[in-house]
Structure formats: structure tokens, C-alpha cells
Amino acid sequence: MLRNLIIHLALLLVFIFLQAFMFDNMKLSSLQIYPFVYVAIILMLPFETPKWLLLLTGFFSGLLLDIFNDTLGVNTAAATLLAYVRPFTLSVLSPYDGYENGTLPRVGYYGTPWYLKYISMNVFVFAAAFYLLVSFSFNYFASDLLKIFFGSIYTIVIILLIQFAFFLK
């Protein structure tokens, strides 16, 4: 358990570093659409992760990114919401007999269709919270919907590429 905690903490720091210095510079179009790859670490935590640890991980990963990007708590709020919603999406997508002990929410364990549904639901929640908090107005609702849609797709594609490149069993 301690070994897994250290590995996930190291991955968290790597993903935050990559997000702050690489992925935040990969802006898509003039809509200011970024891939939110650091949310993958919250999504990759083991099924047995206690809810309090999920919330702390979401909070501190968002806080670190807010410090790097000077975004005034938007990442913190959206990542904490993602950590809160994750157990609900896992229960919705749960196999009939539940998740096997010792497995992780990754492509290698449950297959691409399951993983695609899992990250799509969660990334959409994150992107909606992020972009709606950034604009904090309904005056730009149409552009916010575009940002949510394309930001989610952009993030999902990059997370899938990372999964296939580094995290297959």
C-alpha cells in the first residue's frame, strides 16, 4: 500500500509538472482550449482509494496547478469536484460482480470501451466545471459549451494516448 502511495504521489508530481510546462502551452485555437492531462492521475488512483484521499488529491493537484498558472482556484474547484464525482461514475460503470481486487481503472484491466466511458464522464464534469468557473457568466454560454466539448475531446484523446503508451498492464 505504501509503495502504491509513493508511486501515485510521484506520478502526481510528474503530471502536474507536465501540465504546467508542456500541456498548458498546447493551446487549441483561439477559444483557449487546453488538454487537462493532470486529471488522469485522479482517474488512475486505485478503486480502493478512500474518499478523503481522493478529495485531498484533487484539491492539492488543482491547487498546485493554480499556483503555477495563477488561475485563482479554478483548477482546485474543478479537480476537487472531479475527485468527488469519481466514486459515483465508478459505481455507474461497475461490472455486475464488482471490480476485482488489485486492479486499477486502466485500459489494460477493463478494456478500451469501459475506460473510454469512464474518462469521458469524468473529464466532461471537470471541463464543464473549469470553463463555467472561468467565464462565471451566462453571456458566453455558447462559447463555453464549445470549450467544454472540444476541451473534453482534446483531453480524452491525450489521456488515451498516455494510457496506451505507458499504462497497459
Q: Which residue's entry shows cell 480502493?
A: 48
CA distance 13 to 18: 9
What is the enclosing helix (H) or strand (E) of 132?
Answer: helix 112-135
DSSP, res 47: T
pLDDT tens digits for 50-107? Answer: 999 999 999 999 999 999 888 889 999 999 999 999 999 999 998 888 888 878 888 8
Query: What pTM was estimated for this model as a whole?
Result: 0.89
Q: In angstroms, what CA-CA distances link 15 with 10, 20, 37, 133, 139? A: 9, 8, 7, 22, 33
CA end-to-end distance (rounded Å), the chain: 18
- With a cut of 80, say whether residue 27 has pLDDT above it: no
Instruction: Calculate the average pLDDT of the chain.
Output: 87
Cell of 123: 473529464
pLDDT in tens, 106-124: 888 888 999 999 999 999 9
Place of cell 473529464: 123
Q: Please check whether residue 126 is in contact with residue 82, taking contact to mean a CB–CB distance below 8 angstroms.
A: yes
Between residues 71 and 169, the one the model is more confident about: 71
pLDDT, tens digit, for every residue of 68-82? 888 889 999 999 999
